[in-house]
């Protein structure tokens, strides 16, 4: 897998993860979608997402970096900032 390089590529990767791991429809994964309220994720799911990004991108993230992430855009922004 090649590493994502920009916002759209990270968003596509996040859509893939959410569909494969949490059965979230990719059409629901919009930048302003709220992780907990709109996509029905919980805190354990969020940690699983971080772990999946770490494994696939080869970059470690601290929980602190994602602590304030509430929307899809927030998650993508954190990943992009660390590419």
What's the rounded Cα separation, in Å, for the pair 67 and 71? 11
Rounded distance between C-alpha atoms, residue 16 and residue 12, angstroms: 6
pTM of the complete model: 0.86
pLDDT tens series, the chain, 83 aa? 567 778 999 999 999 999 999 999 999 999 999 999 999 999 899 888 888 988 988 888 877 888 888 999 999 999 998 88
Per DSSP, what are the bridge partners of residue 34? 71
Provide the token pair at 37.
Answer: 């309220």
């Amino acid at each position: 897998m090649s590493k994502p390089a920009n916002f759209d590529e990270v968003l596509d990767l996040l859509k893939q993860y959410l569909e494969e791991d949490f059965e979230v429809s990719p059409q629901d994964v919009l930048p302003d979608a709220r992780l907990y309220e709109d996509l029905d994720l919980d805190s354990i799911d969020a940690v699983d997402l971080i772990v999946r990004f770490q494994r696939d991108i080869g970059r470690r993230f601290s929980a602190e970096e994602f602590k304030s992430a509430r929307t899809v855009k927030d998650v993508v922004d954190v990943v992009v900032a660390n590419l």
